[in-house]
Structure 1
Amino acid sequence: MPRTGLSPLAWLADVETQRRAQGLRRSLRVRPPVGTELDLASNDYLGLSQHPAVLEGGVEALRTWGAGAGGSRLVTGNTELHEELEAALAAFTGAESALVFSSGYTANIGAVVALTGPGALLVSDALTHASLVDACRLSRARVAVTPHLDIAAVDAALSGRAEERAVVVTESVFSTDGALAPLRDLHEVCRRNGALLVVDEAHGLGVRGAGGQGLLHEVGLAGAPDIVMTTTLSKSLGSQGGAVLGPAAVRAHLIDAARTFIFDTGLAPAAVGAALAALRVLVDQPQLAAAVLARAAELARICDVAEEPTSAVVSVILGDPEVAVAAAAACLERGVRVGCFRPPSVPAGTSRLRLTARAALTDDEIALAARVLAEVLGLAQ
């Protein structure tokens, strides 16, 4: 039947109505350059996005190399600064090599898709980040999604496969609840089954390991020849961009095969310069990582979270999405900004406040958080 009278976007109104009814409608909020409220929502775990040395690193790169990279890194977008950052990241994390992408999202997609493909098996934890979920969907590999942190399920998927090649993907620190992946056990299963392990250290770098070198480094797996690490430069390093770290052969392959590297404009020089400066601050101040964990433990006690946090993330599950949204708004009204995670970011029935610790939180700020959260969480019960 002719449909000339229908708008091709008419269906969006019904979708929006459904989202509103489920408490899942999202909106953008503009933040001021200098916040007046206490920030317990951002991923700037070490507070380096405003560090004078980091700002200067970005400004110097901007003046030297210009506002943009000018093209993909294979054309005109590769600078000495990009390669200096790659060398510094590899040295810091114990990897053989590194390759910088325009974001952590594109790093995950580029690495996973290029290392799998048709005829491969891709095993993914059920709660991996959306970037890894999208990478699985784009890979054209057979995908097996295993229950969260279920080593036996990963082993069964690998040992029962018909494919010659297999890749297991996980976060080292899961972004929504801060849980640590059992990397040693995962690696043992992968090695026994001839599989590659890809670990996203987005929330581990700068927080876990001696001086923030990451969870892979902490558990003695840094530089393993059958592990590839991905990370972002936008959390602990306070800048923008992503990276894939691992064997030199992987770096060479990604330059040839990762579409999010080949066809994407290179990371802007200012972001590269800022990330490099932030990494140098972290090397000079290794105590920052421990400070984050200490402040996270205080936030967990304030919120009556039973388990000691193992990362910068403190998750306070409230269940209903509308309750979580209202609680986050109430916190903001009282001068404390917290994250609010709802489906599809988290499973249905587990909407939550997500608090993130920062290394530089003061005692007065912790006291403010305690007053506000006690009042708001008391009302949310």
Structure 2
Amino acid sequence: MATNPSLTSSWLDEFPARIAELDRAHLRRRRRVVLPESGARLQVDGQSMLAFCSNDYLGLAHHPALIEAACMGARSFGVGATASPLVSGHSAANDTLEQALAGFTGLPRALYFYAGYATNIGIIPALVGSGDAIFSDNLNHACLIDGARLSRAQIHRFAHADLGALETALAQSPAQRKLVISDTVFSMDGDLADVPALLALCERHDALLLLDDAHGFGVLGPQGRGCLAHFALTGARASPRVLYMATLGKAAGVAGAFVAGSDAIVEWLLQKTRSYIYATAAPALLASALRASLQLIEHDEWRREHLQQLIQRLRQGLATGLRGSHWQLGPSLTPIQPLLIGRNDEALAVMEGLRERGLWVPAIRPPTVPEGTARLRIALSAAHTDADVDQLVQALTELAAACQPTVAIG
């Protein structure tokens, strides 16, 4: 006799208990409804707050020139791309943007995607597969990790920035095709990869190097041209072993991503990347806005200069304000300033203390970061002022004084 499914337990009934477990572990995440105000201020769930959570590092997301370019793009091309880039979605605006991105990064050719996550989970399986080998920094972003898993290649994860471990793994691998993947600026720690050393290892072991410069593009290098320009690895010094990826929704202030490299590799990705072939192209109005963004990134050097001044101001202020505290500010010289707290509940409590003072700084917890390293991820922007940074330093100084040392970060 058949059993009535409605009278038996189902795995679907587990979800409330699983969500409750997230609550008990202080791991449940909640979305906030935001509206932009002025400068670095946002209205968050109806409350006006000074935000240190945005990746809009150069303060371009609400720039009038980008808004006007997007409006002109919409008037010229409409709102939607309507099809895949390989059908009818590759507009003249998108084509011009790809040429501009290649020229801006000093690489032969670029390919424009609708999103950064979709870029990495698509291009890695297009480059390597079963029988090949991937070598991945242990702190790489989730999209690089997921792209590696989707490729079905053998994955060798090495300790963060441990070039000796990477060289040993490369030397011992019998795979003919080897792919090294690494963030350039690591999204939760803010530190910078040793790109020249990574490239030297790839040259020595016949490997391809995929760099994710999501948090370096627009910020690093002369005129904000990214990590390769920062290390003088563009133009005549550009290596065919480097595939450069960057997102366009952070310092560039818009949306999307791109990969740039040799003509042959980019052509292969165009032919084989499923997240490019089978997805609707990015709307042309975004490409129009991004061309305006590239001009501002190139010419507004004051934005990067101001950003560097803010970074130093924050670090100097917290060096004094947190003296004696078990909280630790990571050794980052980029706009990503991680303040390690330790326990999940304490990081949430500090975040709440800041919220009560009108400051929004997100608490980052596992699995985004390793167990025991819950932190505040302070993100600075050229939209911040000196007074904004001083307000944050003062608030953190007060909260640190109110917290008794409990857990030291190992």
Which bin holds the TM-score, normalised by the shorter protein? over 0.9
Q: Distance in 2 between matches of 1:88 and 1:252?
A: 17
Q: Distance in 2 between matches of 1:326 and 1:219?
A: 40
SS in structure 2 of the partner of residue 317 of structure 1: strand
The aligned counterpart of 1:171 is 183
8 Å CA contact 1:38–1:336 kept in 2: the answer is yes
Query: 1:133-212 maps to which residues of 2 (within 5 A)?
Result: 133-212=145-224
8 Å CA contact 2:248–2:256 kept in 1: the answer is yes
Q: Does 1:303 align with 2:321?
A: no
Q: Distance in 1 between matches of 2:105 and 2:4?
A: 58
Structure 1 residue corresponding to 2:305, chosen from 290, 308, 313: 290
Q: Does 1:278 align with 2:281?
A: no
Query: Per-residue deviation at 1:75?
Result: 1.0
TM-score for both structures, normalised by structure 1: 0.96
Larger Rg, first or second structure (1 or 2)? 2
SS in structure 1 of the partner of residue 246 of structure 2: strand
Query: Per-residue deviation at 1:307?
Result: 6.0
Query: 1:2-13 maps to which residues of 2 (within 5 A)?
Result: 4=5, 5-13=8-16
Unaligned runs of 5+ in 2: 43-47, 320-327, 405-410
The aligned counterpart of 2:68 is 56
Query: 1:110-125 maps to which residues of 2 (within 5 A)?
Result: 110-125=122-137
8 Å CA contact 1:168–1:190 kept in 2: the answer is yes
Q: Does 1:269 align with 2:284?
A: yes
Query: 1:8-47 maps to which residues of 2 (within 5 A)?
Result: 8-34=11-37, 35=42, 36-47=48-59
Query: 1:60-99 maps to which residues of 2 (within 5 A)?
Result: 60-99=72-111
8 Å CA contact 2:220–2:227 kept in 1: the answer is yes
8 Å CA contact 2:83–2:89 kept in 1: the answer is yes
Query: Per-residue deviation at 1:354?
Result: 0.6
The aligned counterpart of 2:252 is 237
1:288-319 Cα deviation digits (max 9, x unpaired) = 22322221222222333666532111000001
SS in structure 2 of the partner of residue 53 of structure 1: helix
Structure 2 residue corresponding to 1:328, chosen from 351, 366, 372: 351
SS in structure 2 of the partner of residue 32 of structure 1: strand
Query: Per-residue deviation at 1:68?
Result: 1.1
The aligned counterpart of 1:354 is 377
1:101-153 Cα deviation digits (max 9, x unpaired) = 11111111222111111121001001000000100110111111111001011
Greater shift, 225-234 or 271-280, is seen at 271-280
Structure 1 residue corresponding to 2:366, chosen from 319, 331, 343: 343
8 Å CA contact 2:329–2:340 kept in 1: the answer is no
8 Å CA contact 1:190–1:197 kept in 2: the answer is yes
Q: Distance in 1 between matches of 2:96 and 2:188?
A: 32
Q: Distance in 1 between matches of 2:232 and 2:36?
A: 40
CA gap of 1:380–1:258, structure 2 versus 1, over 3 A, is: farther
What is the one-letter code of the residue matched to 1:242?
A: A
TM-score for both structures, normalised by structure 2: 0.89
8 Å CA contact 2:108–2:260 kept in 1: the answer is yes
What is the one-letter code of the residue matched to 2:365?
A: R
Query: Per-residue deviation at 1:370?
Result: 2.3
Unaligned runs of 5+ in 1: none
Query: Per-residue deviation at 1:287?
Result: 3.2
Query: Per-residue deviation at 1:84?
Result: 1.3
Query: Per-residue deviation at 1:217?
Result: 1.3
Sequence identity percentage: 35
SS in structure 1 of the partner of residue 12 of structure 2: coil
SS in structure 2 of the partner of residue 157 of structure 1: helix
Query: Per-residue deviation at 1:32?
Result: 1.9
8 Å CA contact 1:101–1:242 kept in 2: the answer is yes
Q: Distance in 1 between matches of 2:198 and 2:68?
A: 40
Q: Distance in 2 between matches of 1:199 and 1:226?
A: 11
Q: Distance in 1 between matches of 2:112 and 2:403?
A: 43
Structure 1 residue corresponding to 2:120, chosen from 96, 108, 116: 108
8 Å CA contact 2:183–2:213 kept in 1: the answer is yes
Query: Per-residue deviation at 1:86?
Result: 1.1
Q: Does 1:226 align with 2:229?
A: no
CA gap of 1:66–1:23, structure 2 versus 1, over 3 A, is: same
Q: Distance in 1 between matches of 2:298 and 2:366?
A: 37
Q: Distance in 2 between matches of 1:241 and 1:217?
A: 21
Q: Does 1:374 align with 2:389?
A: no
Q: Distance in 1 between matches of 2:403 and 2:31?
A: 24
SS in structure 2 of the partner of residue 216 of structure 1: helix
1:177-209 Cα deviation digits (max 9, x unpaired) = 101101111111111000000000000111111
Q: Distance in 2 between matches of 1:99 and 1:31?
A: 32
Query: Per-residue deviation at 1:57?
Result: 1.3
Query: Per-residue deviation at 1:380?
Result: 4.0
Q: Distance in 1 between matches of 2:261 and 2:359?
A: 39
SS in structure 2 of the partner of residue 187 of structure 1: helix
Greater shift, 322-331 or 188-197, is seen at 322-331
Give the total of aligned pairs.
Answer: 381
Q: Distance in 2 between matches of 1:185 and 1:95?
A: 20
- Please provide the CA RMSD for this pair: 1.6
